[in-house]
Structure 1
């Protein structure tokens, strides 16, 4: 492979802003944004030769969002490949190196972030406790938002502008980390999500846990285990909760009697329904209707 000159920074068309210590000091005093805030931000287009190594790590978290080309990230004995529409968060205080592919150099948005909530937000990007190069769908609004952050920083460092800027940074980062939750229809293809969708489509049915596990073509023990792991509840408890939530709509929007609502939801015993409703909602069905009709 042809040897290429290693470059930390300095690319045609790049944008980069690093907040000075006095600005960071003011941000740390601001309770609205000191839990999560930006310290540096940049865009390196077609960054041929980009190679950054920190042998003692960084005291901030670093988000790398690849828009084109590809590169690599070496950290804790592993190498992660970063291609277009992928992101990776480098944890703080961990030795690392990241570098652009010599033949297909990446174009990356990057930012450094810190704050008392930074570690918790970073944890949300892990899968089973391990880092991952996440592949995310391209969303044009993210690019616009990144450019808006730059625009604010290029014009003002006032308290309000720093608040607005950091709110945008938090939204940008979390839109990447929670990409699956933001697009559940696209990503909720696992057995538990499939089972919940089946429940929602059959709220009038009287489904047993055996029928639910059979519908997913899983053993009963495996189905119960993974359902509890993901939702914190048993399948029947979750199914009943969906029924009660739906009953609230009948109570609020219709004049159906309790008996009629029970029939709609596949519940035989009105008294059982009332006890379950009271347990989950906190009031009796008749009281709920009275309160909301007012």
Structure 2
């Protein structure tokens, strides 16, 4: 017989539905509202089948064992390090694998921001699975939500849980786009970080990491939304802001530190991005 809960050592927090309805009419929580959260260890015979879907979007993160999920008539296996996102109102079923029951963290959310974040994670009926490169940060956030909602469901706690849930959803959306440790993309990024004080061309960088310039450029666009040179410029300007904020270096010396030896060129580039000159930026109150 399938079990919905009742697993030894489980932790569950359920927000009263009257509180949920009230929060969905309030600022912040109307955009992202946690309705339920939990942790099921070694959830033998755990299964759920919802022919009409659920009102909430469901997030499941498997940290041990294995299980399965079905959406859009397509079944997918979930193992440790996998997550699943089931959009609201999508018919679905899921459960622990016989003989190897999963341990899962799970979350139910509603709100106006949820659909966009689900879309950003690249899931849809028939493709609910998200293979995580780094599940630990997401699990830590889910634990934080569960701890908060287990204490109380005051408006302050609900707002805090909303913010954490937003981070969970953005982590799910961006985890797959991050470069894996040791990949050509990660090595390329490291080279750019180490060479902020000089110019690096795309052919030079692609030769260093063993890819064609077009392939490397495509990887950068997928991971950062822009090209290699644009990303290097972002790194340079971030370093420039830090130097302007934390040192007494002259504007010319700051420019040289980020590989721009013509102070007028550096000032133009800085002003184009920030809307103010380096000198004006340094004079701004920031704390």
Report the TM-score, using the length of structure 2 for normalisation.
0.79
Question: What's the counterpart of residue 172 of structure 2?
Answer: 177
Aligned equivalents of 1:42, 1:125: Cα separation in 2:
21
Once the 2 structures are TM-superposed, how far is the Cα of residue 41 of structure 1 from its aligned partner? 3.3
Please say if residues 130 and 172 of structure 2, whose CA atoms lie closer than 8 Å, have aligned partners that are also in contact: no
Quote the offset at 1:286 in angstroms: 3.9
Partner of 1:212: 205
Equivalent in 89, 96, 99 of residue 85 of structure 2:
89
Match of 2:195 in 1: 202
**2:107, 2:142 within 8 Å by CA — same for their partners in 1?**
no
RMSD across aligned C-alpha pairs, in angstroms?
3.5
How far 1:101 sits from its partner (Å)?
Answer: 1.4
Q: For the Cα contact (< 8 Å) 1:70–1:81, is it kept in 2?
A: yes
Deviation at 1:95, TM superposition (A): 1.9
Partner residue, 1:100:
96
How does 1:225-244 map onto structure 2 within 5 Å? 225-244=218-237
| Cα deviation 1:31-81 (Å, max 9, x = unaligned) | 121111122334433332222212222222112233432211122243222
In the alignment, which residue of structure 2 is the partner of 1:48? 44
Flag structure 1 segments of 5+ consecutive residues without an equivalent. Answer: none
Larger radius of gyration: 1
Q: Tell me the equivalent position of 1:132.
A: 129
Distance 1:114 1:258, change over 3 A: closer
Distance 1:23 1:292 in 2: 41
Change (3 A) 1:36 1:195: same
Report if aligned partners of 2:34, 2:158 keep a CA contact under 8 Å in 1: no
Contact in 2 for aligned 1:205/1:266 (Cα 8 Å): yes
SS, match of residue 62 in structure 2: strand
Query: CA separation of 1:102/1:163 partners in 2, compared to 1, >3 Å: closer, same or farther?
Result: same
Helix, strand or coil: the match of 1:277? helix
Structure-2 residue corresponding to 1:65 = 61
Instruction: Identify unmatched segments of 5+ residues in structure 2.
Output: none
Report the TM-score when normalising by structure 1.
0.77
